[in-house]
Amino acid sequence: MVKELERAGLPVVHVCTVTPISMTVGANRIVPAIAIPHPLGNPALDKEEEKKLRRKLVEKALRALQTEVDGQKVFED
Amino acid sequence: MNYYILTNNSQAKEEFEQTHNVRFVDGKLIDVLITARDLINNGAVLLSHPLYGSVKPNETPYRSILLREGKPQADGLPAPADPESVRLIGNAISAFEKFIDKKEVTDPRLLDDFQVVDLSLLRSAVESADL
Amino acid sequence: MRLELGKINITDIQFAKESKIDKGVLYINPDDLKPVVLEDEKIKDVVFDIAKPGESVRITPVKDVIEPRVKVEGKGGVFPGWTSKVDTVGSGKTMALKGMAIVTAGKIVGFQEGIIDMCGVGAQYTPFSKTLNLCMVCEPVEGLKQHDYEAAVRKAGFRVAAKVGELAKGLEADETCVYETQGIKEGIEKYPDLPRVGYVSMLQTQGLLHDTYVYGVDAKKIIPTIMSPTEAMDGAIVSGNCVSACDKNPTYIHQNNPVIEDLFAQHGKTLNFVCQIITNENVYLADKERSSNMTAKLCRMLDLDGVIVTQEGFGNPDTDLIMNCKKIEAEGVKTVIVTDEYAGRDGKSQSLADADAAADAVVTGGNANEVVVLPKLDKVIGTLDYVNKIAGASEDTLRPDGTLEVELQVITGATNEMGFGVLSAR
Amino acid sequence: MAKIKVVHYINQFFAGIGGEEKADTPAELHKGEVIGPGMAFNTGFGDEAEIIATIVCGDSYFNENIDAAKAEILGWVKDLAPDLFIAGPAFNAGRYGVACGTIAAAVHEELGIKSMTGMYVENPGADMYKDKTYILETKDSAAGMRAAVKKMTAFALKYAKGEKIGASCEDGYMNQGVRVNFFEKERGSKRAVDMLIAKLNDKPFTTEYPMPDFDRVEPNPAVKDMAHATIALVTSGGIVPKGNPDHIESSSASKFGEYSIAGVMDLDDATFETAHGGYDPVYANEDADRVLPVDVLRDLEKEGVIGKLHEKYYATVGNGTAVASAKKYGAEIGKRLVADGVDAVILTST
């Protein structure tokens, strides 16, 4: 799916918990997520903290979209 | 090694509950796979393959799987999911789904046969794990 | 190593007073074979029967199929570790009874698969509809545990095959084939320009009813090793696998390993056939990692240019197959893998339980989920009692008119993963 | 036995009306007429089948008026009630190939009438429709007409008579992504040895089972002006409006969902949930922002970090592995996003 979106001409960032799978399915810009049942959240945190965490991840995803890449790249911290 | 046996096979439970850590699933084979998947999503790591080669899913009602806990992260998050375990359990569940739904096995002799084979395959995994 | 294989073409089997082979006809006195089976006190009784190609006969549930052979020159005897000591076999001269097989049948567990139809649609799919089959159905003593029963029937099969094979002693072969591989250095000197090719054979080793033995050792416990391809011809590798009829490798197919035969056919012409590498298919993941690492290492150390990898079974072994392929390719050794498929009854599901881009050369034995309707046949050797219980069957398998609606997976050898058959899929 | 009735579809060029300049010719029904390549088909059919009508349509007309043209043609075919519908062959003509594929697929899907076409393997219509109708493989130009007609005629008769269709490689149609058994000439081990020899010698060989898609797509250029960019959200985590209005299945879903988030500032447990059966749904059901971060993107939109959050999002159920259907959904979703002027996508997976 990620490949088809990219093929359509759209830059895609894949926010995904299991990055090796993301590599296998052919994503180019990859941002590692938190956990499978809650990729962009952490129920252990209070609401405010959790949203901050999510914002950090989304900001990282936006940064990835603004970064030129040559092939596959995982955006670690 | 610090691992546990996830099983819905009462013979496996009987054999190993004194000596090993057994988590019994009171349910069907698919319930064992789904329980394993949820554990894996929260960081558990598969030690044995969730499919048995020749006894096809949807045929035997029993399944026993070896897992170990992942190391939790510092900030209270569960351990990161192990990619290989995620892949294998995902493949196992889709393999299960594609086989035809058969009527439930009720013949006690047959159930015993399935339990014995499941137990044997589990033993061979435990032997390797306990080395 | 060099092995001469003398073939005696059997054209008929008949029960008779005296057991012998005369002008291609195998005469058997069951009373000569009975004691061979009953020497194991776990077996209460045995019934022998004969099934011939074209007859309206169904054999089920089939456990193993074995070709009678006997060693007439060179070290050791057939089925080392079982009916002979563990001398290294695979050299000298062996006689084989061609066109026939010993078929062990009878229920060991209730869900055991394996149908051989001697005529009709099913006969097209099983290679053993073309052999004259001497069938033995064993009855266990009361209360015998499943694993003891499996072992008893397995071993009885080898004893009978060896006993029948003995009848070939002193006979002249109808045809003789010579199989010879060279030592590493010798091979390189003899065929400096030919690619060096190996054969990686994955043995089913997951536990009860899923075992393979090498020289009497449970292959679950082996570390991958190299063999002369001629060793398998003398029965060094035998099957203890009772489930998964369509894609199990009965002892007969190890003895007549088609990959080994077809690589020998090219040996010295287009390739240099170096050796067979055997590895296992365990349930424990670390075992899978270790075995595939070792196998890839052996391929590298033997300086192989290419290998064929064959597997046994579905699901769990797909993971071993892909691991082997990926790691061997990563060593720069080109691979072709042989498998079968479980693409669902409609053929629309993912065929294998695992996949990798490195597996770019695949030979398939067909979709084991494809449904066939087998006609009602006049005679059953074994029993139909369990036919509704096997994989690829359902409660409605045995239809009121006596026909059987089943998936190919119940037919012995239908989608063999050593490439024994011509079935394929696209 | 009565002759098999066939309706044949061709474009303006093969009907002899004209080339590109006549490509806007509207659809015409020629009852009882056999035109162009239809003559060769009819000869090939002998006594067994006959073309009872020919439909001619300009390629531009068909592709520019696709819904109207399709409806009109389907109406005719319905009334004619043939045993078989044949379109083309289209060879490498792109728009003709797409038209043949579209109409053949529609005849089969909507009318339940057997349909087939023929074209070159690289014709864009091939990839689009090979799993929806039988597409016989032809050469890339009309110079291959004779061979194409011969192949298509043989297949047409077999198919129309209800004989068992063999595997794609046996009967010459393009693989439909369905595995079909057949008996090869050589046994598997011999095929494996031959394949290995080819591979060792860098000669071409064809795998009998292509692995699921592992190809790569080059990354698109980065977003230059994020402050004015429209960002769309897509998820394989199955986030759907509460109640799952489209009944997206929990696994191996047969469809994807397109949902409006216009005016939605924050997803909550009263309005959104997950349909995904592949993970523990408790956390996503509690707060779907944990999978589809609408709340944060609204903040970033307000702050001017991004230009705009696209007002629709797309949801599928994926299990992380490559599936054929996922590919199809991805292509369709991509098309819609591009049409809506989206600049970049955040795809979230569980």
Whether residue C242 lies in the annotated active site? yes
pLDDT at position D321 is: 43
Average pLDDT score over chain D: 91
Among candidate residues C119, C135, C138, C242, the one labeled active-site is C242
A17 is written with which tokens?
């918990």
pLDDT class of D322 with cuts at 50, 70, 90: very low
Q: Is C270 on the interface with D (CB under 8 A)?
A: yes
Measured between CB atoms, which of D175, D179, D195 is closest to C361?
A: D195
D292 contacts on A by Cβ (under 8 Å)? 40
Straight-line distance from the first to the last Cα atom of chain B, in angstroms, rounded to the nearest whole number: 9
Q: How far apart are CA D287 and CA D271, in angstroms?
A: 10
D314 contacts on A by Cβ (under 8 Å)? none
Letter for the amino acid at C334? K
Dihedrals phi, psi of D209, to nearest 5 degrees: -135, 100
**β-sheet bridge partners, residue A38:** A35
Whether C426 is in a domain gets the answer no
Three-class secondary structure of residue D330 per DSSP: helix
pLDDT at position C146 is: 83
pLDDT class of C387 with cuts at 50, 70, 90: low
Whether C422 is in a domain gets the answer no
ipTM score: 0.88
Contact in structure between C132 and C419 (CB atoms under 8 Å): no
- The enclosing H or E element of C70 equals strand C69-73
Report the number of distinct structural domains present in chain B: 1
Across the range C64-83, mean pLDDT stands at: 96
For chain C, percent of residues with pLDDT exceeding 90: 78
pLDDT at position B66 is: 95
pLDDT over 80 at B102, yes or no: no
CB-side neighbour CA atoms (13 Å) of B5: 32
Output Rg (C-alpha) for chain B, integer angstroms: 15
Query: What residues have CB less than 8 Å from D1, skipping those under 6 apart?
Result: none
Domain range spanning residue A54? 2-74
CATH of domain D4-171: 3.40.50.2300
For chain D, percent of residues with pLDDT exceeding 90: 79
Report the number of distinct structural domains present in chain C: 1
D251 contacts on B by Cβ (under 8 Å)? 93-94, 97
Q: How far apart are CA C173 and CA C155, in angstroms?
A: 27
pLDDT class of C106 with cuts at 50, 70, 90: confident
**β-sheet bridge partners, residue C302:** none
Letter for the amino acid at B117? V
Query: What residues have CB less than 8 Å from C389, skipping those under 6 apart?
Result: B105, B107, B110, C110, C111
D298 is written with which tokens?
């609204």
Contact in structure between A64 and D344 (CB atoms under 8 Å): no
Q: Cβ of D178 and C355 within 8 Å?
A: no
C308 contacts on D by Cβ (under 8 Å)? 189, 192-193, 196
Q: At what angle do helices C146-166 and B108-129 cross, to 10 degrees?
A: 90
Domain range spanning residue B55? 4-129
Whether C209 is in a domain gets the answer yes
Sequence ranges of chain D with CATH classification 3.40.50.2300 = 4-171
Our CA dihedral for C322, C326, C332, C336, rounded to 10 degrees, sits at 20
Q: What is the distance in angstroms between the Cα of A57 and the nearest Cα belonging to chain B?
A: 15
- Interface chains of chain A (3 or more CB pairs under 8 Å): B, D
Contact in structure between D59 and D167 (CB atoms under 8 Å): no
- Interface chains of chain C (3 or more CB pairs under 8 Å): B, D
Q: How far apart are CA D18 and CA D20, in angstroms?
A: 7
pLDDT over 60 at D15, yes or no: yes
Q: Cβ of D299 and A55 within 8 Å?
A: yes
For the beta sheet containing B21-24, the strands, ordered from the edge strand earlier in sequence to the opposite edge, are B21-24, B4-7, B64-68, B45-46
From the list C229, C269, D225, the residue with the least C-alpha distance to A11 is D225
**Chain B interface residues (partner A, CB cutoff 8 A):** 38, 41-43, 75-78, 80-81, 83, 86-87
Report the number of distinct structural domains present in chain A: 1
Tell me the C-alpha to C-alpha distance, in Å, between residue D309 and each of A62, C218, D231, D264.
12, 62, 5, 11
Tell me the C-alpha to C-alpha distance, in Å, between residue D23 and each of D12, D13, D92, D148.
6, 8, 16, 23
Domain range spanning residue C316? 2-410
Q: Cβ of A3 and D213 within 8 Å?
A: yes
Whether C139 is in a domain gets the answer yes
Give pTM, 2 decimals. Answer: 0.84
